[in-house]
């Protein structure tokens, strides 16, 4: 049987009084990204996730940074989650589940994902402080929750240990990217990966 390369890509946009975010996402990509966002460090994490997932992403995000970074980061999670869900389509033949554990120097992070339609986030981290440079670390949980809720996926993510917040968060996004990329791959079967027959 010949397997054709799927077109699993989309353009998605969300505009509110607080933010204006648009992106192009391609699950059948090469790990390239182009991110325009006036927030420090966070684009680095997004590029890391996309690279290890093997996707392509073009993202333009503007927000009310005169208030703080919260709306822009959270809404980015919403838009990326909605786009990911759209790219998955009816989820026929995807692997669905995946696990990845990644070290970065003294830090160790793990991500386990299920793309089965049940939105849930479990996140556990050591005390990473309040900021990496000017980026507000607590917003990582806001981003991940917005992403998982709108992608309708389950994510269990844990930073087992680490002292450097940059290393810890980068390891986390590497592991999440690997897990999402693996779970969204097409397996050699033409069926919905569920005993229910539907996701």
Domain of residue 159, residue span: 9-183
pLDDT in tens, 56-80: 999 999 999 999 999 999 999 999 9
Q: Does 105 or 199 have the greater pLDDT score?
A: 105
**pLDDT at residue 152 above 70?**
yes
Mean pLDDT of all residues in 148-173: 98
The count of domains in the chain is 1
Closest Cα partner for 32 from 44, 47, 11?
47
Q: Is residue 107 a part of any domain in this protein?
A: yes
Which stretches of the chain are assigned E, i.e. beta strand? 9-15, 19-26, 33-37, 56-63, 97-104, 107-114, 120-124, 131-132, 135-136, 154-161
Q: Is residue 46 a part of any domain in this protein?
A: yes
**pLDDT at residue 158 above 70?**
yes
Q: Is residue 189 a part of any domain in this protein?
A: no
Beta carbons of 114 and 96 less than 8 angstroms apart: yes
Mean pLDDT of all residues in 83-98: 95
Average pLDDT over the chain, rounded to an integer: 94
Mean pLDDT of all residues in 177-198: 85
Q: Is residue 91 a part of any domain in this protein?
A: yes
Q: Is residue 193 a part of any domain in this protein?
A: no
Closest Cα partner for 53 from 149, 173, 153, 143?
173
Q: What is the CATH number of the domain that holds 134?
A: 3.30.230.40
**pLDDT at residue 3 above 60?**
no
Please report which confidence band the pLDDT of residue 194 belongs to, taking 50, 70 and 90 as the band edges.
confident
Q: Is residue 196 a part of any domain in this protein?
A: no
Residue 6 has what pLDDT? 62
């Amino acid at each position: 049987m010949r397997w054709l390369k799927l077109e699993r890509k989309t353009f998605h946009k969300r505009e509110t009084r607080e933010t204006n975010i648009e992106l192009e996402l391609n699950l059948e990509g090469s790990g390239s990204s182009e991110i325009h966002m006036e927030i420090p460090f966070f684009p680095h994490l997004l590029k890391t996730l996309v690279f290890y997932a093997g996707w392509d992403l073009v993202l333009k995000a503007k927000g009310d940074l005169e208030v703080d970074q919260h709306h822009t980061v959270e809404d980015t999670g919403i838009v990326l989650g909605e786009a990911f869900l759209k790219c998955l389509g009816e989820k026929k033949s995807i692997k669905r589940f995946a696990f990845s554990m990644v070290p970065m120097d003294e830090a160790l992070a793990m991500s386990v994902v299920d793309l089965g339609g049940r939105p849930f986030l479990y996140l556990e981290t050591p005390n990473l402080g309040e900021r990496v440079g000017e980026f507000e670390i607590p917003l990582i949980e806001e981003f991940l929750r917005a992403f998982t809720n709108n992608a309708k996926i389950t994510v269990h993510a844990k930073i087992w240990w680490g002292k450097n917040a940059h290393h810890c968060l980068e390891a986390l996004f590497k592991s999440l990217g690997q897990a999402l990329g693996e779970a969204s791959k097409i397996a050699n079967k033409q069926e919905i990966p569920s005993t229910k027959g539907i996701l």
